[in-house]
Chain A
Amino acid sequence: MRRMVTEGRRSQMLRGVLDLCLLAVMDEGPAYGYEMTQRLRDRGLAIVADGSIYPSLGRLERDGLVETYRAASNGGPPRKYYRPSTAGQLALALGVSEWRAARDAIDAVLGPVTVEVAHE
């Protein structure tokens, strides 16, 4: 039960910044859908649940924040690669700035809390 609540909260928090995370990982180099989930997972963001990466990529594409092209992957079928457009890079810079401001404010509230739950 506690695990479900924790994962639900993490998933909700991630959903609010998933667009930024996707822009950030594709800014490291063009990537296709599954490749982006691998990069997120490598950084500890394994909970990209509900298949939300696809709607997010669709939204980024619709808003002109990414550029796409098709290219062959490693021995596999041609894949659709994404990379941030100029507008996407600007959105990423602004979003990171906003995130840091929000993170600092939340840290100011939650940081002093000393209550901890013993992990099983």
Chain B
Amino acid sequence: MSDFVDHCRQEWKRLGVPDPLADEMAADLASDLGEAEGEGVSPEQFLGSSAFDPRSFAASWATERGVVPVPGSPGRARHRPLALVAFTGLAAVALTVAALLLLTGEPRLTLVTSRSGPPHAPALSAIPSLPPGPGHRVQASAATPVEWILLFLAIAALCFAGWLWSSWRRSVPPTAPA
């Protein structure tokens, strides 16, 4: 008997039935089965073929009662803002850090690429500190401020977060008036 109720509980847990409701249904079922047993009525007599298929029985009961969360329901949607809040927070921190680095003076972080060999005219003309020497091998260094890249990525992430928030708000049904 308790095995049957345990199997039902497992199925309700798998289906996402809220614990208080699952507790209530399990208690009612256990009480009824206990009373039936006390009167000499077997679970098979009381529940019919369902006694051999607790998962289907539990799923049918929960579904008919309307306590199984459906995909896209407000219950599931409530989990989404947690990830969104974290993502938005990270983007905001990245934006703040990039802005502070840019405002506090010379960029101290750089990406450096080196190139050896005959210089290409357009690339060298953009770097006046590296004068080309005819017939000489030169090493060019192109520095890219990481702060600007971070700033650009942070702004893009914030725009994406804004789009996600607006999309989420559209997916959440309005709350019924009390």
Contact = CB atoms under 8 A, between A and B. Distances in A.
Contact of B46 (A32, A37, A76): A37
Interface residues of A, number: 22
Given A54-B57, A58-B64, A49 B32 contact: no
B35 A76 contact: yes
A52 B56 CA distance: 11
B95 interface: no
Contacts of B64: 55-56, 58-59, 62
Interface string B1-41: 00000000000000000000000100111011011100000
Interface residues of B, number: 24
Interface stretch (B47-55, B115-123, B131-139): B47-55
A9 to B, nearest CB: 15
A33 B33 CA distance: 10
Residue with the greatest number of chain A CB neighbours at <10 A, chosen from B32, B34, B63: B32
B61 A58 contact: yes
Interface of B: 24, 27-29, 31-32, 34-36, 46-51, 57, 60-67
